[in-house]
Structures are given as C-alpha cells and as structure tokens.
C-alpha cells in the first residue's frame, strides 16, 4: 500500500467528550483530501454478572438515537492515562451501585474506525456485591435492570440491543460460557 500522509490537522470544535478535527491528507494518487477525525480519550465497559447468573444492564436515554437503550455499564476515562480496569470498576459502582471481586479483561474495540479513535476496553466482572446507591453524574439518568444471558442474546438477534460495546461484550461472554 502506498503511503498516505497527513499535511495538517485543524481543530474545528472542542467538546465535553470529544474533539472534532479536520485533517488535510495527501493520498497516493497525488490529490489531497479532507478527512474528519473525532478524538476521544477512551472508555471502559463491563459485563457484570451477579451470583444468580443475571447480567446487570443499564437503561438510559441516548440523544444521538433519540431513544432509550439497554447497555452494559460503561463510561469514559477520566484521563488518557487512567487504567481502563479502574474505569470499568468505577463505572460499575457509579452506574449500578455494585462492586466486583474480579474484573477480567475480555477485549478492546474501536467503535467507529472510519472517523473516530474511540477505544473501549471491555471487562467481565464477577463476584458482585451491592455497595450502595448509584453515584451518577448530574446529567445522568440510568435505570439498572438484570437479565438472563439467553434473553440478552435474543434481544441482540432481534435488533433490540444495537450498541456495539454491549453486543460485543455479551457475545464474548456467551462464547466464554459456550452459549454463542
């Protein structure tokens, strides 16, 4: 593959969660192109399994979709240097009120590789213990629900769960359990 070279990167907008850049790129045929880049500091997510085998999920309104979604607990890193395992455990506690005895790394995903560098590390949390109430950010409204794995898989196949980190996390857990 011939070399593609970035000629410039211009910050178009700085947001609370992401920054939007426009890159001017030299492509192999000699032309230049403008490519968008959404810069994200990263995130962590957790497949949280209770002792009874049910998975803790969060139901919340997502503005981009203009509807509620069912997702595994997740959230952005506080800084690019924050260990993702720490962030996953923090998000589990904040969003659900549970803590975990163990958190095992499952995988890393990039959510939208065409224009965004968001990377989410997904963990499996087991040995859950109720730690207290949710500790949500002031702009968060999250309901905690518990589901059987088989019901979540059906919801994925029925396109009722479409969030990429959630689909990936649940299907990896199902595979690990021999249910995929």
Q: Which two tokens stand for residue 76?
A: 């952005």
Residue 138 annotated among the catalytic residues of the structure? yes
Q: What is the DSSP letter of 116?
A: B
Out of 138, 140, 145, 150, the active site residue is: 138
Contact 21, 37 (CB under 8 A): yes
CA separation for the pair 175, 180 (Å, rounded) = 5
Closest to 64 (Cα-Cα) out of 138, 155, 164, 147: 164
DSSP 18-74: EEEEEEEEE-TTS-EEEEEEEEE--EEEEEEE-TTSPEEEEEEEETTTTEEEEE--E
CA separation for the pair 24, 9 (Å, rounded) = 6
Active-site positions read 138
């Amino acid at each position: 593959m011939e070399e593609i070279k970035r000629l410039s990167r211009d910050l178009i907008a700085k947001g609370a969660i992401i920054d939007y850049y426009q890159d001017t790129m030299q492509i192999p045929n000699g032309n230049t192109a403008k490519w968008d880049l959404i810069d994200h500091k990263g995130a962590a997510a957790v497949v949280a399994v209770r002792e009874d085998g049910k998975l803790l999920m969060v139901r919340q309104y997502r503005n981009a979709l203009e509807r509620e979604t069912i997702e595994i607990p997740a959230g952005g890193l506080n800084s690019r240097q924050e260990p993702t395992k720490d962030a996953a455990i923090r998000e589990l506690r904040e969003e659900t009120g549970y803590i975990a005895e163990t958190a095992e790394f499952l995988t890393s995903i990039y959510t939208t590789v065409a224009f965004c560098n968001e990377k989410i590390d997904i963990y499996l949390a087991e040995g859950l213990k109720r730690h207290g109430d949710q500790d949500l950010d002031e702009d968060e409204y999250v309901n905690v629900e518990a589901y059987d794995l088989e019901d979540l898989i059906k919801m994925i196949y029925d396109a009722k769960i479409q969030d990429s980190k959630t689909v990936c996390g649940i299907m990896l857990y199902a595979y690990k359990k021999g249910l995929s």
